Amino acid sequence: MKKFLILLVCVMFTACLNQTAFSAEETVIVISYAGDVKVVPAGQVKPLACRPGMLLSEGTRIITGEESYVEIAFDKPRSNILKVKENSEVVLKFNDSDKVELIDGKVFVLLRDLKRGSAFRVRTPCAVCGARGTGWGVITDSKITDVAVFEAKVFVRGLKKDGSAMDEEYWIEKGFERKVKKFESPGELLKVSDERLAEMEAEFGLDAGKKKSRENKFKGFGKNNTMREEQMESILERKDDARLDKMREKRSSGGKR
């Protein structure tokens, strides 16, 4: 199946949360973080310290401080990644295609491999926007949402006063954006600057040089017998995957060992 690159940026202030049951099919795991990152499980008040390899369930709240970020993967192969930027607050959702509820701050999403027929949606106070195997981005506050596209095209819908999505979908092609005011339909298409597009790509190191480096990973050891970063990452991923399988097996057996 053809793979797509997807970038998402979101900034939000105040939103309503709809709690749903955790799906055993969801695998959401912390990949990396820096600075002050707090993880608050659903139904709890006391935050946990963030750590790589940490499993996240539905309803988990993530809070980042100054000069901080956290990257999490929404699938076991780590193809679909959410990057929560500094001074942000996010709640994870597993409600059909809804994956993220942003309370405050900024988020980037990189989606490489959505399953055919599936979608990845983000809900803001003004709109519901998402991708069906395409590339997109969002910036928003409590009164206006800016949906910008960085690869292929995305759809966006305005929200009614009762919180439900409007019927009509508006499409946005790569390099363009639409602004959505609260309780209104999406506005006209606007051109996104090349500088802004480059900034979004830089969040995941998507410049030509790093792309080539990722495609040509080396094995073995580097100079001074130091293990290459790519190999270390592969080893850590295998360890995470083994631990994930064990935890899922334990969960499916009702916690009995």
Pair type for strands 61-64 and 37-40: antiparallel
Per-residue model confidence as pLDDT tens digits over 209-233: 444 444 443 333 344 433 344 444 5
| CATH code of domain 7-205 | 2.60.120.1440
The answer to whether the beta carbons of residues 207 and 201 sit under 8 Å apart is yes
Q: Identify the three-state secondary structure at position 249.
A: helix
Bigger pLDDT: 143 vs 241: 143
pLDDT band for position 250 (50/70/90)?
low
* Per-domain residue ranges of the chain: 7-205, 223-252
The answer to whether the beta carbons of residues 126 and 220 sit under 8 Å apart is no
Instruction: Give the pLDDT of residue 8.
Output: 43
Instruction: Give the pLDDT of residue 6.
Output: 42
- CA–CA dist 129, 126 (Å, integer): 10
Per-residue model confidence as pLDDT tens digits over 39-48: 999 999 999 9
| Mean predicted confidence (pLDDT) in 145-156 | 84
Instruction: Give the pLDDT of residue 209.
Output: 42
| Mean predicted confidence (pLDDT) in 58-83 | 91
Q: Which amino acid is at 249?
A: E
- CA separation, residue 63 to residues 37, 39, 89 (Å): 6, 7, 5
Per-residue model confidence as pLDDT tens digits over 169-189: 999 998 899 999 999 999 999
- CA–CA dist 155, 169 (Å, integer): 6
68 has a pLDDT exceeding 50: yes
- CA–CA dist 109, 72 (Å, integer): 10
DSSP 8-state class, residue 51: -
The answer to whether the beta carbons of residues 215 and 208 sit under 8 Å apart is no
Which residue(s) pair with 90 in the sheet?
62, 102
With a CB cutoff of 8 Å and minimum separation 6, the contacts of 248 are: 24, 27
